[in-house]
Amino acid sequence: MDDQLIWLDDKNGIFSVKTAYNNYSRGIDPIIPFHSSKVWSRAWPHRVGSFYGNDLYRGNNSFELPNLCYLCGLTEETEDHLVLQCTSVLSIWNYFTNFVGGDSYMLYTFKEVIVVWKNSPLSAQGKQLWKRLSAAIPSGLWKACNVISFSRKTFKLHDVIRDIKIDAFNWSKGLDYFKGINTTNVIVG
């Protein structure tokens, strides 16, 4: 039997990448389980979903970057190191997770951040922001590394935390929970 490309349409007759991943995930013997609801979310921009999707697609074969971490300068930069293990990054995770119980939210691989991130007992606004933090934190860390590597700026913890808060809020501000709330009222500290 020859190889062939099959891309099924959805119930509306539309061919989309999301539909292809959904169909692929439901296959009889899928090679890689794909968590499309965690990737293709309206809670964050598509570019962040693509970042997530690339990691899930690679599975356990996390890519290695051929240089030292721009944040700590101590070890080789991998996705897991950049997002979870770097000493500078741990300060950021601790800042956010201390609001909801700390250690119970510590994750050990980037894939866990994508798949296992759980909701917290927060207000309606807090839940919406918390949901987006699972994408805003890795995205903010990736952007911080790029700023350091390409602009030769230094790592400033409070600036990265502020930028993560701004991203999470900006991705939420179209929701009814945030009508009339200004960014400066949310991004404090």
User: Does a structural domain hold residue 21?
Assistant: no
Residue 12 lies in a domain: no
- 160 in Cβ contact with 141 (< 8 Å): yes
Per residue in 118-146, pLDDT (tens digit) is: 767 777 778 888 888 888 888 898 888 88
Q: Does 79 fall in a domain?
A: yes
Q: Tell me if 100 is assigned to some domain.
A: yes
Please report whether residue 2 resides in a domain. Answer: no
Q: How far apart are CA 32 and CA 79, in angstroms?
A: 19
Query: Is position 162 within any domain?
Result: yes
Residue 39 lies in a domain: no
Least confident of 22-31, 57-66, 154-163, 180-189: 57-66
77: helix, strand or coil: strand
**Nearest 5°: CA angle at 129, between 127 and 134?**
100
Question: Do the beta carbons of residue 137 and residue 96 sit within 8 Å?
Answer: yes
Tokens, residue 77: 């930069």
Mean pLDDT comparison of 7-16, 21-30, 33-42, 127-136, highest-scoring range: 127-136
Strand partners, 24: none
Q: State the pLDDT confidence band at 182, using cuts at 50, 70 and 90.
A: low
Which residue range forms the structural domain that includes residue 147? 44-186
The predicted pLDDT at position 107 comes to 63
Q: Mean pLDDT, the chain, as a whole number?
A: 72
Inside any domain, residue 138: yes
Q: Measured between alpha carbons, how far is 86 from 73 in angstroms, rounded to an integer?
A: 9
Residue 177 has pLDDT above 50, yes or no: yes
Domain count, the chain: 1
